[in-house]
Amino acid sequence: MADVTVICGSASDGPVAEKVFETLKEHGVSYDSAVISAHRDPERLDEYVKASDARVFIAIAGLSAALPGVIASKTKRPVIGVPVSGTLMGLDALLSIVQMPKGVPVACVGVDNGVNAALLAVRILEAGHA
């Protein structure tokens, strides 16, 4: 059982994911990870989220960054979105993540800020033990 599930929308999100992994390891938090596109493989994403026993999801995505919102629509567990920089310096991804409709909450950290996503996940996990 992993405490955190980290899902990247694309393999090119790997450098941001590495920051998440390093920070989670530093805090002794177990995690699993996958690369699954919300657009290219929605059925696989649905199955993966439903099968996960993680307590927190971190979704890393660029461009339209639909991944965090799609995950949040499939679970009641906390979802943290990490926008990835791209042609618009990550502004497109940032706005996609923070503009979720009511009822689909997603926390959002700064562009390419995998460290803060991991630290927020650690705090969420710790809050459950307070």
Q: Residue 40: pLDDT above 60?
A: yes
Q: Residue 130: pLDDT above 60?
A: no
Cα angle 68, 22, 59; round to 5: 5
Cβ neighbors of 28 (< 8 A, separation 6 or more) are none
Specify whether the CB–CB gap between 71 and 45 falls below 8 A.
yes
d(CA 70, CA 66): 6
Cα–Cα distances (Å) from 50 to 5, 19, 29, 32, in that order, read: 12, 25, 21, 14
What number is the average pLDDT over the span 32-49?
Answer: 97
